[in-house]
């Protein structure tokens, strides 16, 4: 059944308020309410500036938004529950009125429960619900979505000792195990999405293996979310600093979609949306009347 879902155009991601259709690739706009994120830390720390950023991303074509209050760049110290709550909750209270799906990037089960009560649609967890009580919070909710991400190690130390061996089968097996554990708690397949965790405890070569062989992660039928935006691996191969990686980020997003990702998580929404329109037009010409499927 799950394998059949991998290429089912009727697939959707079930979240709290929305059954999000996945018949076309979607763009998730990043809203970092943090002073220290690797790319845009400090730009949207106030509630007002964060909401203005949400509205700007929607004008640029974002389909959904991902709000986070803790940086996960390598070596960054953890943020207390109180501080993360103070950053995220005021933004969420206002953003739920925008009428679009909202995911919250957190691994703290207490905050997961609170943001779901406030109307968040999905939990985006770098720990894949491995923190004590996190899986139970998601399972207790009737319909929220969840994105499970693979991470080797933890944010403070993951850059020191990357994942050994072939990353692709290890990522797939980890995400499969986490999904099965969640399903055993009663969470339906339609609520679960996967993220291979580009840059989270992996070498540059492993990150690009996960992109080049990404279709190997689709066989279990879960929709894939790809987060390549401005990552250090792009800087390694291009030589560009983080603020000049837009072109590389858009290229990586397009390749991820070409290889089956249904959601791309990005900073540069306008440029990614435009690139996907070109990709979509080419796909329609290739597979529509007069075209052929290669």
228 close to 211: Cβ distance less than 8 angstroms: yes
Question: Do strands 12-14 and 19-21 pair parallel, antiparallel, or not at all (unpaired)?
Answer: antiparallel
Catalytic, 286? Answer no
Per-residue buried b or exposed e for 7-27, using 16+ beta carbons within 10 Å of the residue's own CB: eeeebbbbbbbbebebeebbb
Residue in 197, 199, 103 with CA at minimum distance from that of residue 149: 197
Which token pair is 94?
Answer: 């206002």
DSSP at 290: T
Return the sign of the alpha-carbon dihedral for residues 157, 162, 163, 168: positive
What is the Cα–Cα distance from 208 to 252, expressed in whole angstroms?
A: 10
Q: Which of 108, 113, 172, 231 is catalytic?
A: 231
Measured in whole angstroms, the distance separating CA 131 from the mean position of its chain's CA atoms is 18
Return the sign of the alpha-carbon dihedral for residues 128, 158, 258, 59: positive
Catalytic, 87? Answer no
Q: Which of 85, 108, 262, 265 is catalytic?
A: 265
| Ranges assigned E (strand) in the chain | 12-14, 19-21, 26-32, 64-68, 102-105, 122-125, 145-149, 192-195, 225-226, 263-266
Q: Which residues are catalytic, by number?
A: 231, 265
């Amino acid at each position: 059944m799950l394998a059949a879902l991998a290429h089912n155009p009727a697939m959707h991601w079930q979240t709290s308020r929305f059954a999000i259709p996945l018949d076309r690739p979607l763009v998730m706009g990043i809203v970092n309410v943090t002073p220290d994120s690797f790319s845009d830390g400090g730009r949207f720390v106030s509630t007002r500036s964060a909401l203005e950023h949400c509205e700007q991303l929607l004008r640029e074509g974002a389909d959904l938004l991902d709000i986070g209050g803790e940086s996960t760049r390598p070596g960054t110290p953890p943020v207390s529950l109180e501080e993360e709550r103070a950053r995220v909750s005021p933004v969420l209270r206002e953003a739920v009125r925008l009428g679009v799906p909202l995911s919250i990037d957190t691994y703290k089960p207490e905050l997961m429960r609170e943001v779901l009560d406030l109307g968040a649609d999905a939990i985006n967890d770098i720990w894949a619900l491995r923190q004590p009580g996190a899986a139970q919070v998601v399972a207790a909710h009737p319909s929220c979505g969840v994105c499970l991400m693979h991470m080797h190690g933890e944010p403070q130390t993951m850059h020191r000792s990357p994942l050994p061996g072939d990353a692709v089968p290890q990522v797939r097996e980890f995400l499969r195990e986490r999904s099965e554990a969640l399903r055993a708690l009663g969470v339906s397949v339609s609520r679960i999405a996967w993220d291979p965790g580009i840059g989270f405890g992996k070498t540059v070569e492993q990150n690009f293996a996960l992109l080049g062989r990404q279709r190997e992660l689709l066989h279990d039928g879960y929709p894939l979310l790809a987060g390549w935006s401005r990552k250090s691996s792009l800087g390694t191969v291009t030589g560009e600093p983080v603020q000049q990686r837009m072109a590389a980020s858009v290229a990586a997003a397009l390749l991820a979609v070409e290889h089956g990702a249904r959601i791309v998580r990005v900073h540069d929404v306008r440029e990614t949306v435009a690139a996907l329109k070109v990709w979509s037009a080419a796909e329609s010409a290739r597979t529509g009347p007069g075209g052929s499927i290669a």
